[in-house]
Amino acid sequence: MDFYIVHVTVPAHTAEAIGETFWQAGAQGLETVAETDTSTTLRAYFPEAPAAENLLAALEHTLAAFDDHEGHLRDFAIERRPHEDWLAKWKADWKVQPVGQRWLIVPPWRRAEAEANLEWQGRLRLVIEPGMAFGTGTHATTQACLTLLEQLPTTPERLLDVGTGTGILAIAAAKLFPAVVCSACDTDPDAVAIAAANAQGNGIGERLQMHVGSVTAYPDGHFDLVLANLTAEVITALASDLARVLRPQGHLIAAGILSERQAGVAAALTTAGLDLRQTQTDGEWWAALAQRRPGDTPA
């Protein structure tokens, strides 16, 4: 039986969202075949021929959600290929990946490899199915969050992961802080289901309270730590709520922010009652650890 490959080049900061659109359209494999500072070329595998017009419209709709208008979808093409074990080839490209000092990102089919490598024995394993939702551990924004998380100066009692995607950050925090009470939310019901399944697969399912929705649903001053790997626009819009749900002197880890947008995000966080304590830049991406001021009422 033949299969079909869809190629497309998109602005780099939209690649994860475009990848999610491919999954929703029925792709059974996805890989990055080329990257530059500004663009990413993706290859999606389909068992049957996708409707080109509908798929292209869905991709363009996803791209339109990014309001910067700095790039466009390019090189869209669909190729028909004779049968081969493409799934095995795709899986072979996903490796076990150490991140920071504490983490090890493990595709499920590489568990045995991760357990056998003595160099990785001291690391906390995060077993995540690649491509299931936002946050597979390979993107610079997720890795920045993990790095800032392991450098957190306090041990939280309660945390919230906003826009949880695969649940990777909530899972990481639960493993790093065994006594923490974890909550996570996402506006996408499918992502919530995926995060819950990943939490079960990582042995912390009973500790993760999931909610379909956003940070606006949570009470004031409830969390010691909030994780927000979103976009500059969303973090700016939610800045007051991200600060509101934090206890005084609680911490926020914010990521998914293009470096050129950092000034605007930093200003929004400061106005909301947060002080920047640490920042991290990786290529075009910027992340920050912020702390709510004691006694301040978020703006």
142 known ligand binder = yes
296 known ligand binder = no
Which residue, among 243, 60, 253, has the nearest Cα to 142 in the 3D structure? 253
Which residue, among 98, 126, 99, 100, has the nearest Cα to 111 in the 3D structure? 126
163 known ligand binder = yes
201 known ligand binder = no
Summarize the annotated binding site for S-adenosyl-L-methionine as residue ranges. Answer: 142, 163, 186, 229
Summarize the annotated binding site as residue ranges. Answer: 142, 163, 186, 229
